[in-house]
């Protein structure tokens, strides 16, 4: 059966997303691999819409409804394992549906290696995560490896020692048996805020928060950080400095931030230039292993430079105090060393940093 074949292949490639997209007369199926969309299958119109209907049916969506966007989930049994899937559909103006399938827990913390361009930032992060309490924040685009980084650092902190780590996520992406992993479930009324509140009652050593996206979560995170927990969280911002403005926007006072924030990191995964491909290394090229075609670039602010931000107005342009290890500066270095192409350099440059 094609669905089985598709999911088995996606699972073996460790892709996180499958996209089934309508074209004029057929459907194309793409896998997201190393940040790129890779075309894997071609289906005629009939086969494509049958496949979409099949998944809609299996994930309890309304099969007849083709205009309204829908979402669903299910566990699919492959030959040797089960995979948790999330589905979402959306239609174009001609009522042709596209379906995106997310494969959860495609990663496992032990297998994922972080290939970072620079050792320095990674060492700084390792020291920060050893703190007894406070708040360590990560920003970066979707698919920039924030969760993998947070998991790795916290595992590194434990180093075999027993500590309680609770994660609050939506959804859980990486399986890690030594952490107590919890998942937001809006339909069942279990929000980030709820889970965080109950997590704090457990007095864990570390809490990992998938994303601070509203005021309630932000306040709860601050409370946790002020009452002796280390909180490692991600937040939406387009650079390190944007993290501070975002938290102020979410109603957190500067005084509280100064008391809790121990570090801010911005990260992105950048595709490596390959001399065989004469461009970013492609899926089937063996020059770089399939899961190492990108490397992480970090900017980390802590200590005095972080304090400086509070002393100057956060909304002010940062141009007057550009540091040697700012994201753009490091990106330029990476380009000069020949690790990435000129085109990639321009694509990943942060505007008005
Ligand atoms: Zn290559």
The answer to whether residue 317 scores a pLDDT higher than 50 is no
Query: What is the span of the domain harbouring residue 45?
Result: 1-104
Distance of CA 42 from the midpoint of ligand 1 (Å): 24
Distance of CA 283 from the midpoint of ligand 1 (Å): 8
Distance of CA 214 from the midpoint of ligand 1 (Å): 41
Whether 194 and 325 share a structural domain? yes
Distance of CA 341 from the midpoint of ligand 1 (Å): 13
Distance of CA 240 from the midpoint of ligand 1 (Å): 31
Whether 98 and 165 share a structural domain? no
Q: Is residue 111 in some structural domain?
A: no
The answer to whether residue 65 scores a pLDDT higher than 50 is yes
pTM of the full structure: 0.84
Distance of CA 291 from the midpoint of ligand 1 (Å): 12
Spatial CA neighbour of 236 closest among 268, 212, 263: 212
Q: Is residue 114 in some structural domain?
A: no
Distance of CA 279 from the midpoint of ligand 1 (Å): 7
The answer to whether the beta carbons of residues 211 and 236 sit under 8 Å apart is yes
Distance of CA 272 from the midpoint of ligand 1 (Å): 9
Chosen domain end from 73, 104, 135: 104
Q: Report the CATH number at residue 217.
A: 3.40.50.300
pLDDT confidence bin for 95, thresholds 50/70/90 = confident
Residue 275's contacts (CB-CB under 8 Å, 6 or more residues apart) are 287
pLDDT in the model for residue 251: 96
Residue 342: exposed, middle, or buried by beta-carbon count in 10 A (0-12, 13-18, 19+)? exposed
pLDDT in the model for residue 290: 81
Chosen domain end from 69, 104, 139: 104
pLDDT in the model for residue 353: 58
Q: Which tens digit of pLDDT belongs to each residue from 209-262?
A: 999 999 999 999 999 999 999 999 999 998 888 999 999 999 999 999 999 999
Distance of CA 293 from the midpoint of ligand 1 (Å): 8
pLDDT in the model for residue 328: 95
Whether 210 and 246 share a structural domain? yes
Chosen domain end from 70, 104, 138: 104
**Averaged pLDDT, 153-164:** 90
pLDDT confidence bin for 320, thresholds 50/70/90 = very low
Distance of CA 282 from the midpoint of ligand 1 (Å): 5
Whether 141 and 79 share a structural domain? no
Whether 301 and 339 share a structural domain? yes
Whether 94 and 143 share a structural domain? no
Distance of CA 74 from the midpoint of ligand 1 (Å): 36
Distance of CA 41 from the midpoint of ligand 1 (Å): 22
Q: Average pLDDT, whole number, for the chain?
A: 90
Q: Report the CATH number at residue 23.
A: 3.30.450.90
Whether 79 and 133 share a structural domain? no
Whether 100 and 140 share a structural domain? no
Q: Which of 55-69, 91-105, 319-333 has the lowest mean pLDDT?
A: 319-333
Helix (H) or strand (E) holding 36: strand 36-44
Distance of CA 177 from the midpoint of ligand 1 (Å): 35
Whether 1 and 91 share a structural domain? yes
Q: Is residue 264 in some structural domain?
A: yes
The answer to whether residue 313 scores a pLDDT higher than 50 is yes
Distance of CA 294 from the midpoint of ligand 1 (Å): 11
Supply the DSSP symbol for 23. Answer: -
Tokens standing for residue 127: 């020291």
Q: Is residue 304 in some structural domain?
A: yes
The answer to whether the beta carbons of residues 259 and 235 sit under 8 Å apart is no
Whether 174 and 302 share a structural domain? yes
What is the rounded distance in angstroms from the CA atom of residue 212 to the CA atom of residue 167?
13
Q: Is residue 353 in some structural domain?
A: no
The answer to whether the beta carbons of residues 250 and 212 sit under 8 Å apart is yes
Task: Give the residue ranges of DSSP H helices in the chain.
Answer: 2-12, 45-58, 119-128, 146-158, 192-201, 215-226, 240-249, 254-260, 303-311, 327-336, 342-348
Whether 217 and 157 share a structural domain? yes
Distance of CA 31 from the midpoint of ligand 1 (Å): 18
How many domains would you assign to the chain? 2
Distance of CA 274 from the midpoint of ligand 1 (Å): 5
Can you name the residues that pair with 29 across neighbouring β-strands? Answer: 20, 41
Whether 170 and 214 share a structural domain? yes
Q: Is residue 109 in some structural domain?
A: no
């Amino acid at each position: 059966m094609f669905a089985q074949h598709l999911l088995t292949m996606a699972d073996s490639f460790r892709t996180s997303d499958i996209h089934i997209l309508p074209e004029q007369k057929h459907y194309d199926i793409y896998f997201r691999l190393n940040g790129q969309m890779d075309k894997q299958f071609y289906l005629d119109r009939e086969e494509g819409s049958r496949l979409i209907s099949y998944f809609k049916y299996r994930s309890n969506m309304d099969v007849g409804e083709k205009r309204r966007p829908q979402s669903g989930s299910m566990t699919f049994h492959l030959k040797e394992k089960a995979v948790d899937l999330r589905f979402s559909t959306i239609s174009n103006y001609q009522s042709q549906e596209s379906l995106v399938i997310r494969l959860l827990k495609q990663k496992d913390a032990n297998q994922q290696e972080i290939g970072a361009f620079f050792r320095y930032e990674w060492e700084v992060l390792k020291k920060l995560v050893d703190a007894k309490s406070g708040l360590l924040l990560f920003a970066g685009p979707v698919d920039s490896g924030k969760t993998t980084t947070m998991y790795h650092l916290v595992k590194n902190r434990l180093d075999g020692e027993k500590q309680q780590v609770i994660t609050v996520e939506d959804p859980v992406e990486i399986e890690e048996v030594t952490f107590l992993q919890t998942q937001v479930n809006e339909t069942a009324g279990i929000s980030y805020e709820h889970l965080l509140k109950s997590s704090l009652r457990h007095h864990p050593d570390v809490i990992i928060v998938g994303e601070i996206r509203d005021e309630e979560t932000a306040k709860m995170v601050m409370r946790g950080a002020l009452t002796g927990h280390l909180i490692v969280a991600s937040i939406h911002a387009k650079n390190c400095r944007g993290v501070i403005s975002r938290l102020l926007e979410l109603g957190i006072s500067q005084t509280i931030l100064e008391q809790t924030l121990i570090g801010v990191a911005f990260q992105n995964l950048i595709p490596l230039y390959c001399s065989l491909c004469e461009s970013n290394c492609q899926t089937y090229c063996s020059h770089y292993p399939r899961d190492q075609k990108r490397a992480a670039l970090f900017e980390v602010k802590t200590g005095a430079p972080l304090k400086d931000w509070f002393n100057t107005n956060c909304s002010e342009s940062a141009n007057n105090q550009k540091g040697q290890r700012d994201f753009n500066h490091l990106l330029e270095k990476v380009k000069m060393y020949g690790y990435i192409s000129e085109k990639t350099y321009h694509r990943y440059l942060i505007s008005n940093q």
